[in-house]
Structure 1
Amino acid sequence: MIKAGIIGATGYTGAELVRMLSVHPDVELTVITSRQYEGTPISDVYPALSERCELVCEAFDTKTFCDRVDIAFTALPHKIPMDIVPGLLEGGVRVVDLSADFRFRNVGQYEDWYQPHTAPEISEQAVYGLCELNRDEIRTARVVGNPGCYPTTILLALVPLLKAGIIKADGIISDSKSGVSGAGRGLSLGSHFCEANESFKAYKVDGHRHRPEIEEVLSAAHGADVEITFIPHLIPATRGMLSTIYCTLADGKTEEDARKALAETYDSSHFVRLREKGAVPDILHVQHTNFCDIGLASDPRSGRLVVMSAIDNLLKGASGQAVQNMNIMAGLDEKAGLY
């Protein structure tokens, strides 16, 4: 039985981790922390967890935490994990980090978009936790940087196509849309009901910090620099994410070639579902699951390929993928505790 702990258990992603790990067949959830709710039962913060998890939120202390866990999930805002993770590693604990702190191999890119990094040596050794594409590295990793939600939709759709030479690397555009829970549990005007309900808008059109994360992975897959146009949108839904990606087929390649490349890549991947020809992914069909649904369409007149990818942003885009990473790290069934 694996002993797991969650640092930052009361945000949306932390609460999803509590929900899944408290009923995981191979895990004992031993400790949860929250600075804001120290001393409060998690079931008081989230009544839906009543009789599922009665742990009390604690203040984080490195030594007492490490004494009780084998693996830690850091569900914290960017910048905080980089100060905590070194102590966890010294205490013999493996880590799945849900922030951006350990997603970048190029620490300079992280610093350009976030802030100075205080643990660059760990970041350079961390494994990017895109489960279906990095399983071998994840198995032996001490630190896994859990991918962002937007990058998960885009990378699962595009990496196999770039590697197989099905699409051209230039001119890729991703029109991506997310439910409001992607903004987190903290209060902000833009996520208030009256502001988000019946609203549909683009945001951060001049540069979203998920773009360099996406480009770093695509460039590694292609073997040369890849730049994309990535425009996120906020939709009036609680959860769910859909990326509609426009790219150009390589000379002589067809939609069927793209479908074959994706099918071969994900043949043994339970959580990636390739939709049949003519069917399109729908966020309604992936909500509350760890699935990523991918669909394809093409325009023979222009040579354009449209790739559509849908996930639940809180699960496959965050906590579900984090549990999947833990399963791989621990040598468990990849599907354990997930659906």
Structure 2
Amino acid sequence: MFSSTSFQMLSVAIGWQMYDLTHDAFSLGFVGLAQFIPMVLLTFVVGQVADRFDRRRIVFICQGIEALIAALLLFGNVNGWLGKEGIFAAAAILGACRAFEGPTSSALLPQLVPKSMLQQAIAWSTSVGQTTQILGPSLGGLLFALGPVSVYGTAAVALLVAAILTFLIRTEPIERKFEPVTLRSVFMGLSFIYRHPMILGTISLDLFAVLLGGATALLPIFAQDILHAGPVGLGLLRTAPAVGALLMSIVLAYFPLKKAVGLKLFAALGVFGLATMLFAISTNIAVSLFALFLVGASDVVSVVIRSSLVQLQTPDDMRGRVNAVNSLFIGTSNQLGEFESGIVAGFIGAAPAALVGGVGTLVVAGLWMYLFPSLRRMRSLAEE
């Protein structure tokens, strides 16, 4: 929780500070790209590492490095030497750390709960994650109003606490298969996903839908130039999707998806696209917050379905590699989506870019219903 909250705080601060320095939508897009590139380059390395070494220690090391980066951003602001190049470098290193931490944490979860409770555990884990996305952007926006030093200092301390707590976690030892590292073993996670159409369909659906519909990178522009809401408004805009996702994840934790899972997935995606379009045309902060609330609530349905399928149908000795590929798809839809949004907004403007993205999401949903009929007909998460 401390780690995710801090990462959200850093995302708010880095985005706002970059736009404050450059007033350039392209720069915001390149911040997303700087975080995305390490994720692509390290994906298959991450999977091998997570399946061969202590996952708890991997997460601990990543959080320690993230704390160091936050501290460097703090000192860079205090001493006045932090520029856009330093922000790009920090974003890249944070992206590399998250590339390791994300899939390793996901692969660690099944070691902590029995399989019969895994779906509920994933839903609760998602709700905790969304809580951090509420706290992180809100704290990030409020603290940035006091100055960037406040944000980076708080994040550094919180990440240090997260690293200590992770180090104290105790898990049951598991038997690992130390097979030789070959091209086949490295790409086995990708092969596993390809052989399971429902997992492939769900992951790729999320990839293309959020790639087109995601407008996270444009929030500083909406907050400053369209809604005139300032840093606090930016924090609220980043918080709104997390509030919707939190409430929906709690609902899913108490009432797990058991029937017509495929149809519910596509219905949620339709809501996601329409809500994105509403946000694009809004010039009122209340309407914008409501639209982003719906975006978060609908998106978490896909998150829980995808995560549950991956964890329930993947053997433990492959979870690191499969989760690494899954994280690559998630990162592609988020970081590369931010890059795409920034580039398109640079040419046609922020609002038209978000509107086109919402329409694109609806098109993808219709296309995937045709391409993956087994996904559309999926009744429960336990289906093979």
TM-score, scaled to structure 2? 0.23
More strand per residue? 1
More helix per residue? 2
Indicate the structure whose relative CO is greater, using CA pairs within 8 Å and at least 6 residues apart.
2
